[in-house]
Structure 1
Amino acid sequence: MPQFATLAGISSIPNRRPMTAITPRDIPAPALQYLLDSGYPPALARVYAARGIADSKELDTALGALLPFDELKGVHEMARQLADAIAARKQILVIADYDADGATACTVAVRGLRSFGARVDFIVPNRFEYGYGLTPEIVHLAAQQSPDILLTVDNGIASVDGVTEANRLGMQVLVTDHHLPGDTLPDAACIVNPNQPGCTFPCKHLAGVGVIFYVLLALRAELRTRGAFADRPEPRLADLLDIVALGTVADVVKLDQNNRILVQQGLLRIRAGRACPGINALLQVARKNPERVSSQDLGFTVGPRLNAAGRLDDMSLGIACLLTDDPATALRIATQLDALNRERRSIEADMQDSALATLEQYDPQDRYSLALFDENWHQGVIGILASRLKDKFHRPVIAFARANNGEIKGSGRSISGLHLRDALDLVSKRHPALIRKFGGHAAAAGLSIAEVDLADFTAAFEQAARDMLDAKDLARRIETDGALAQQDMTLEVAHLLDEQVWGQGFPAPQFSNDFAVMNQRVVGEKHLKLRLSANGQPVEAMLFGHNEELPEHIHAVYSLSVNEYNGSQSLQLLIRHWQTKE
């Protein structure tokens, strides 16, 4: 059973689920009118205005609107060093991370550098043997290939010891990363990271794959000035945008305008049949039509299959899928990844059941955080478990799994209001010997502690959460785009919304209306297929993961979806939350 360190004042009483408040987003009238006057359909204009869009320029997703690379600190220097390495035929070894962002960043680096004529290969640490980042152990592993340059992607900003060891062994290190830096930067030959001190690049939310894509843009410009393309065509870096889009969405970075451009341009290439064989194969095994792929498909369908390699096996498998130009090879690997993802879901379900069984005796209203450990939990799945528990209890959650040498590794997910890396930094400053290492973002972070310190860490993390959160932050709240007008509850509007880029910081639209339940039946043993009525207009709907009978009248939060069956399409509502109509 999971261990849950009890804190003073926490009662063992039956679990009360957090209350849920459904609140419509504010829609500024001037912005809405501007968008309507600009020709946007009413439903889309409302949604955009509610997300702070007040000028159609903010919705420009053409490549020409992409921020230039010039303000990225260190990018010109790194471009010069890479150009020198290509000219000198030096061996470059990419050091990748083992998640989807790391895999796509590695693929973009290898494909892009090879297109420029570089000698390049890659290694990706197995999370169960080496852990995260450019550690001294990874440096020694890399040294066996005798590279001249180590190029990190989606990691490296915290690899102080690893870079020192690489320097000692005579290997030059170039760091590309997007994670928040610690107090000390590694002594690398060059660092490109929009979040490093002194970087004025406006988009601070680039994923790791976005950072290396920008480095390649700068490298191409540098090679152009050196006349490298005088007798051959310039490589088309835009052809890498399908991979950039996948990594950007899968890493759940904020989709500001610059990231939306990267994602939209990638989606356009996938829909036009110009994706790499690996992405096409991953869509095929997931039974998704590339012509209608959405950003949600990348995040919830393709990304998890790619991530499954790093969670349960070795991310080299996922990178191989994205690197191959042979469709048959891509399909064979994608089939393996699909099987790994099914195994991951099974492991996750068992872990969640064990965690919830333990938590049933606790009242989440009495605490601000959750930290759990089970010796049987899988290191590769604890991040997903933390995310599920965070969603269920609306608390920051850290789930731990056993590692080596008396350590346990934790993966955390947080709610709005608590910057998780900052919370861990606060714990570390208050208790310097408690956390052995940590890193991450506002919403997600990882750490290692001694197993014997679990109770002390739980108490310290709870105190940090109490210091950084107010009670109101713990109230579950669902933001919606209000009630959808009857004339907008159509298949055409569903298609229109599907074509846009949605994600972290730019959430997919969901609406809330009153409905009469006209018909309901259980399908697949645990889902409800519904026929609802909104103001007398019938509409089909699905409620997944719920097989108990609904009352006659409900208030529901839902999104529009396109249901495809036997070659025909129809509108279907996906119920995200419901409550009895008062």
Structure 2
Amino acid sequence: LALRAELRRRGAFEAAQQPRIDALLDLVALGTIADVGRLDDNNRRLVSLGLKRIRTGRMQPGISALFAAANRDPAKATSQDFGFALGPRINAAGRLAEMGLGIECLLTDDAARAQALARQLDAINRERRDMESGMREQAELMLEALMPKDEPPAALALFDPDFHEGVVGIVASRLKDRLHRPTFVFARGQDGLLKGSGRSIPGFHLRDALDLIGKRHPGLLVRFGGHAMAAGCTIAASSFDTFRDELQRVAEAGIEPALLARQLSTDGPLAPECFTAEAVAQMDAAVWGPGFDAPVFSEEVEVLGQRLVGERHLKLSLRVQGTVRDGIWFGRTEPLPDRAQLAYRVSLDEFQGRQRVQVVVEGMGD
């Protein structure tokens, strides 16, 4: 918009003949959500307009191809598709292969070329998921051996010679979410130095913590950068223990104990009349993200049945407000008590052409 306005001011064209750039709104929407941009009034409008175009079939060939590769229906596109389906496929190329693959997929006007690139990105993303899963399992085993039984330290730093540099950030994010602690994960780079990626929790500025560590130990950090919630650094392999210990000291001094307990804001119980496919579809169609969080509900429920599926997820049968509902808790393996105060969102589970409302558990109260 700024470029077009400047060209117009210079007389390159009149307002009536100026280029139409609304055709780029699908890319604007993807970039805003995939890069975790804050959904202020303006950004939320732009994402909404981008989604509207995609749902009516007006999109770049690359975005159409990515929807197909992810087995998602663009006619039902949501902001979650950008964050959890399209974005990871584009990013996977930069993590494990060549970043230019994702860029070319978004830029090309050739539909056949876009489809070929999208299939390639999908294959790379599957490789990335397998690698991430293995690294996360290894990291969790390391944590079990390193952590005290009662309470984890205020911050975590992990390194294993088999970790891959391309996915340390994703693994750090997963561990941070699970333990609610600032977390760094390191892998050895081709130059022999350790490349670390960190993720933080609200109340602990990760980049400032690195700056403090660098001042206390000149030369420890070969380079570093980032912001409050995500940062990266490079250190010598011999410096890892010093870095880990110093990160924990900085976190212990800088994080209020109350901030180490995970808190989840909710909207209270969901009204019974909203447990419908129509209501859930309406919620899904809205634009959610940073600064405009998706609704999360909470109430006490009765746990009628529970079993593990896929070895990592808890499939549930719940009595919610007197009605039996299907539920699932992704990433949870420990059993629930007979009654529990659960925080949850609702989603549509489609099976054999039938839609059912499913409770997706986000957390459990004490």
TM over 0.5: yes
Letter aligned with residue 227 of structure 1: G
Aligned to 1:286: 70
> What count of residue pairs does the alignment treat as equivalent?
364
1:510 maps to 2:296 = yes
Q: Deviations over 1:75-125 (max 9, x none)?
A: xxxxxxxxxxxxxxxxxxxxxxxxxxxxxxxxxxxxxxxxxxxxxxxxxxx
Hey, what does 2:128 align to over in structure 1? 344
Q: Secondary structure at the match of 1:480?
A: coil
Q: Is residue 465 of structure 1 aligned with residue 251 of structure 2?
A: yes
- Map residues 157-236 of structure 1 onto 2, 5 A cutoff: 217-230=1-14, 233-236=17-20
Q: What is the CA-CA distance between 1:484 and the residue it aligns to?
A: 1.5
Q: Give the counterpart of 2:61 among 273, 277, 297.
A: 277
User: In the alignment, what sits opposite 1:254?
Assistant: 38
Distance in 1, matches of 2:316 and 2:143, equals 32
The amino acid across from 1:267 in the alignment is L
Asked whether 1:389 is paired with 2:175, we answer yes
Please give the alpha-carbon distance, in whole angstroms, between the structure 2 residues aligned to 1:274 and 1:242: 8
Question: Within the alignment, does 1:559 sit opposite 2:345 as a pair?
Answer: yes
1:52-67 to 2 correspondence within 5 Å? none
| Deviation of 1:232 (Å) | 8.9
Equivalence map 1:61-460=2 (5 Å): 217-230=1-14, 233-361=17-145, 362-363=147-148, 365=151, 367-460=153-246
TM-superposition CA deviations, 1:239-275 (whole Å, max 9, x none): 2121122122112232222322222222122112111
Cα 1:453–1:569, aligned 2, differ >3 Å: closer, same or farther?
A: same
Inter-partner Cα distance in structure 2 for 1:376 and 1:299: 28
Kept in 1: contact 2:79–2:287 (CA 8 A):
yes
Structure 1 partner of 2:319? 533
> In the alignment, is residue 577 of structure 1 matched against residue 334 of structure 2?
no
One-letter identity of the residue aligned with 1:479: S
Q: What secondary structure is seen at the aligned counterpart in 1 of 2:4?
A: helix
State the alpha-carbon separation in 1 of the partners of residues 63 and 70 from structure 2.
11
Change (3 A) 1:551 1:279: same
Residue ranges of structure 2 left out of the alignment (5+ in a row): none
CA displacement at 1:432 relative to structure 2: 2.9
Identity of aligned residues (%): 51
Whole-angstrom distance in 1 between the partners of 2:332 and 2:230:
28
C-alpha displacement of 1:504 = 2.1
- Measure how far apart 1:284 and its partner are: 1.2
Give how far 1:505 is off.
3.1
Provide the secondary structure at the position in 2 that maps to 1:314. Answer: coil
Amino acid at match of 1:349: S
| Match in the other structure for 1:208 | none
Aligned residue number for residue 478 of structure 1: 264
Q: Does structure 1 retain, via aligned residues, the 8 Å contact 2:8–2:15? A: no
SS in 1 for 2:343: strand
Q: TM-score, normalised by structure 1?
A: 0.59
Deviation by residue 1:36-59 (Cα, 9 ceiling, x = unmatched): xxxxxxxxxxxxxxxxxxxxxxxx
Q: Distance in 2 between matches of 1:547 and 1:368?
A: 24
Higher relative contact order (CA 8 A, sep 6+): 1
Segments of structure 1 that go 5 or more residues without pairing to the other structure are: 1-216
Structure 1 518/373 Cα, relative in aligned 2: closer, same or farther at 3 Å? Answer: closer
Alignment RMSD (CA, Å): 2.2
Q: Distance in 2 between matches of 1:332 and 1:500?
A: 31
Label 1:519 to 1:456 Cα distance change in 2 as closer, same or farther (>3 A): closer
Tell me the secondary structure at the aligned position of residue 274 of structure 1.
coil
Output the amino acid matched with 1:486. Answer: P
Alpha carbons of structure 1 residues 220 and 408: separation in structure 2 relative to 1, 3 Å: same
CA deviation map 1:17-49 (0-9, x unaligned): xxxxxxxxxxxxxxxxxxxxxxxxxxxxxxxxx
Counterpart of 2:278 (choices 474, 492, 506) is 492
Larger Cα Rg: Structure 1 or Structure 2?
1
Cα distance, 1:466 vs structure 2? 2.3
Aligned to 1:14: none
Question: Is the partner of 1:360 in helix, strand or coil?
Answer: helix
1:445 to partner: Cα distance: 0.9
